Amino acid sequence: NSVVGKTGGADNYYNNGYYPGWAHWGMAIANPLIASPIYNKDGDMSFKYNRVKALHLGWSGDISSEWRYVAKLSHNRTWGTPHRPIPDILENFSTFASFYYIPRKWKGWCFNASLALDMGEIYGDNFGFQLKVHKTF
């Protein structure tokens, strides 16, 4: 008998019966593709969706010597937890794009615009944007 032949069963790794597991103040530690307990609508501070299959893509590049970009896409599906499976698979799609303008004529300045979007049953439908002006001395 090998160790592989003896292992198996449900792995509810993110939840622990004695303390809140992989969370700090309700926010998940280490894995952004698992919904944090703080987002549970019923106030329960356990991980409800830690059986996940996900695809995450990210890329970045230079458009020119003064323009840069970062783009990210994620799609994930969840089946709940091993001990509390959900009847219907939940899905979510998230995307993020950020553009940077770093003018050569203005040393140390950077202008940044970012957009983010979530769609689905896990995180809901959300949209956000951010504008930044940064100066390095």
Domain count, the chain: 1
Higher pLDDT, 11 or 130: 130
Whether the CB-CB separation of 84 and 15 falls below 8 Å is answered with no
C-alpha to C-alpha distance for 46 and 78, rounded to whole angstroms: 15
111 is in which domain, residue-wise? 3-135
Query: pTM, whole model, 2 decimals?
Result: 0.80
Residues of the chain with pLDDT > 70, as a percent, come to: 91
What mean pLDDT value characterizes the chain? 90
pLDDT one-digit tens code per residue, 102-118: 999 999 999 999 999 99
pLDDT one-digit tens code per residue, 22-59: 888 889 888 888 999 998 889 888 899 989 999 999 99
DSSP string for 22-67:
SEETTEESS-TTS--GGG-TT---S-S---EEEEEEEEEEESSSSE
C-alpha to C-alpha distance for 91 and 121, rounded to whole angstroms: 6
Report CA-CA distances (Å) from 116 to 42, 67, 71, 73: 26, 19, 10, 10
